[in-house]
Structure 1
Amino acid sequence: MELIKQLVEIPSPSGNTQEIIRFVEDELGGLGLEMKRNHKGALLVTIQGEDQSRHRMLTAHVDALGAMVKEVKGNGRLRLSMIGGFRWNAVEGENCKIETSSGKIYTGTILMHQTSVHVYKDAGEAKRDEVNIEVRIDEKVRNDEEVRALGIEVGDFVSFDPRAEITDSGFIKSRHLDDKASVAMLMKLIRHIRSEGITLPYTTHFLISNNEEIGYGGNSNIPAETVEYLAVDMGAIGDGQSTDEYTVSICAKDSSGPYHYGLRKHLVRLAEENGLDYKVDIYPYYGSDASAAIRAGFDIVHGLIGAGIDSSHAYERTHESSILHTETLLWHYVRSSMVDA
């Protein structure tokens, strides 16, 4: 839980993930791992197994939702362009950071232009969109020239304050649990395998991807020997969903279509054999690194599991029991036999 908190507090909107990839590298350093970055900036970790002719790959992504400066407005505020799929109302009132191309950081708040109810009659009804949403910078600026004098320009990245909190009742609530909770689980799994001197049945790759929120994070650098590909991402919660915050969610289908039936049944069987609480679910408006890999044309068996995350792409929350059941299923999965295609 503390590692998840550390991860969500590192700004990493898609396209600007160098700092968090470096953090993961440093945390896994000294374990004698094969690690390299691909050209997209993602991190690939490999652990050799008994069978080196057939490989597995597990992936989770460090990139998060965010924004980019679209326009420096004449009133000294910033117009934004979204990075990733969220709704403007989900970030209205949120504190943020603006990172200039020189690396300087400024803070601000994301607000409606028509925020003051004492001035704007339509403050509650005005459309929450990129025309009306703007960033109020925490600097003494009154026009676009004064903003530009700070070094802020079009194309600068804007990250959202995660407001991470771990409660005494076992919840963690924060932005960007999608998918930094999964990254933390893979990091813990890698550490455990190395510290216990465990030999896996198959050579296993761990891809910490960095472009999932924009659709192509895990669609490359998949070794030709890879047979199974498991994405570890969030389980979506809402009306009509079986996923909750206390179990591991096993995805049967998302917007890309069904996941591999044999692998799904294998994951269910592992959960049942080991007394894990799980839910099988369908995520209607969802895609993963695994579905991106399938679309890229890789001949793989693909699956998707994750902790149940409430209020996805907004101020999210999950419980430690969901984290526990998910990471335990991962532990049993990497030591299990492959499924038949």
Structure 2
Amino acid sequence: MNETATDFLARSFAPCSTIALLLRTESVGKTQQRVVTLEQALAPRYLGWLAHENHAGANVYVAANPLRSGSRKRTKECIDIVRHLYLDIDEDGDARLAALRASDGLPVPSAVLSTSPGKYQVLWQVDGFDVEDQEVTLKRLAIAFGGDPACTDCNRVLRVPGFRNQKYSPAHCVAVEYPSDATYSPADFRLPNLPSIAALPLRGNARLGWAHKDSHSELDWAWARHQLALGKDAGKLTHELASRRSDKPNPLYYAQRTIDVASARQWLREGAPIDDVITMLKVRRDAELPAALCSARAREIAATAVRMVARRKLA
């Protein structure tokens, strides 16, 4: 537990950063906040205390952005720099995460947290964003990929992987993967300009239902799964989907990934070993991609499909 939390915090913040940790026990309505340096938080004794509180029922969170040195609160005014963009996905998580990974308008996430079965927090480490830029981009992310539109403020807290999500019985251990070590700039996020974006609330519990259930990417995902289940040819489906999604900056890439993730999921559910799934994905695209990229891509897509199938079994 401590190694996972240590690695996450060390990756997420620069040395000597001031960070805010939040402990919340839902059953008794108790909240504790601690503003400490990164080095204090990484001390074995401090991590041991967090683990003890977590075992006793407290959920452990950390503010996504570092605070100014000397801060005692976690207000917007106390934010030092924008360190992360993030997206909460708490409905139809596997499909939305697959759509996000398939998008050529987004860079590869820096971290993907599995906060409970089928629910995720996606993080991108960034530089060059101010608070206003960050919050507008977070709203666009929420609209485009069905995230929680209430989770778009710069002083938002995120779960710390390695600790247990105590909202569930049995408690779910928060896991993390790190798809990329890159740091991204605003130019790396090619999201649609939405005229109504300024009218959307930064806070609140309202859900953008029209963006959740019927986003183009989710409809494409459902269509791909259905067509593959009917035995349709993956090559023809790829070209059909690419022709339908000319709005995408790279329609062929988008279609290839959507069809391949759906295929891998289907093969795994039919009982195919993961090594066979990887081989089939490589063979499908070996004429289109360089060998090294084709192999790495096949493994990543197979791993994505494994998680989707596992989450479905746990649901």
Taking structure 2 as the reference length, what is the TM-score of the superposition?
Answer: 0.24
Relative to total residues, which structure has the larger strand share, 1 or 2?
Answer: 1
Relative to total residues, which structure has the larger helix share, 1 or 2?
Answer: 2
Q: RCO higher in 1 or 2 (8 Å CA, sep ≥ 6)?
A: 1
